[in-house]
Amino acid sequence: MDLVIINQPRVFLYRKGYQIAKRVMDLALCLLAMPLVLPLLALCALAIRIDSPGPALFVQERIGKGGRRFRMYKFRTMQHNLDDSPHRDFLKAFVNGRVGGDENGRVLYKPFQASQITRVGRILRKTSMDELPQLINVLRGEMSLVGPRPNVPWEFEEYRGWHQERLEVLPGITGLAQVRGRSGITFDSIVKYDIEYIERQSLAMDLTIMWWTVSSVLFGTGAQ
């Protein structure tokens, strides 16, 4: 039986110096990247609009630090106005461990068809460029460059008590679960990686995760 955590997290974060330095690093890296990122954002948005009808940005409510809700930005990679009820059912079942993947990384079920992803969307997903608009969320202080990936509200509603420990820090564009876990791992495994990150986090670890992320995207490699 799960122990429900109510205002009594197992991981205590009193490292104010690290939190300030992490925020400064997030802002500095985002601002330094802007001269390169802004033209890329414009090109991606234009390609999406030419490729399929609908907005270039996909805006969705997510659960952030402390359970606070915020609007997260991504580039749209799927056809516009799709019925998302199958996806919602899948995500709820995934959190509960009923579908998704196994510990060997084998994907057991996908909540959408390949035909629902646009041509440009396939490229954006493969290169992770669909995540670039989340730099806006980082600048606004709703996310960090590194941290647990933020879940949607209907996933959060299915959390067990210990799952809530991943909400003790700002969510991230990338995280330990993304660079060390396989694409088909279970939700419990993702949360265990997130908690490991929270317990061990440091600027050195953040930079390592960012490097693993970049090398994975550019060279098809990742953490060993």
Question: Could you give phi then psi for residue 186, rounded to 5 degrees?
Answer: -70, 165
The per-residue pLDDT for 10 is 52
The CA-based angle 175-179-185, given to 5 degrees, is 95
The per-residue pLDDT for 80 is 86
- pLDDT tens track for 73-126: 999 999 988 877 877 888 888 888 876 554 454 555 556 666 789 999 999 998
Q: How confident is the model at residue 197 (pLDDT cuts 50, 70, 90)?
A: very high
The per-residue pLDDT for 119 is 94
Q: How confident is the model at residue 4 (pLDDT cuts 50, 70, 90)?
A: very low
Nearest CA to 146 among 125, 112, 174, 126? 174
Tokens coding 23: 């925020």
Residue type, 215: S
- pLDDT tens track for 28-60: 999 999 999 999 999 999 999 999 999 999 999
pTM of the model: 0.84
Task: Specify the length of the chain in residues.
Answer: 224
pLDDT greater than 50 at residue 65: yes
Q: For tokens 């997260």, name the residue.
A: 72
- pLDDT tens track for 132-178: 999 999 999 999 999 999 999 999 999 999 999 999 999 999 999 98
7 Cβ contact partners less than 8 Å away, ≥ 6 residues apart: none
The per-residue pLDDT for 221 is 56
- pLDDT tens track for 200-220: 999 999 999 999 998 888 776
| 8 A C-beta contact, residue 34 and residue 42 | no
The per-residue pLDDT for 24 is 97
Terminal-to-terminal C-alpha distance of the chain: 34
163 Cβ contact partners less than 8 Å away, ≥ 6 residues apart: 95, 187, 191
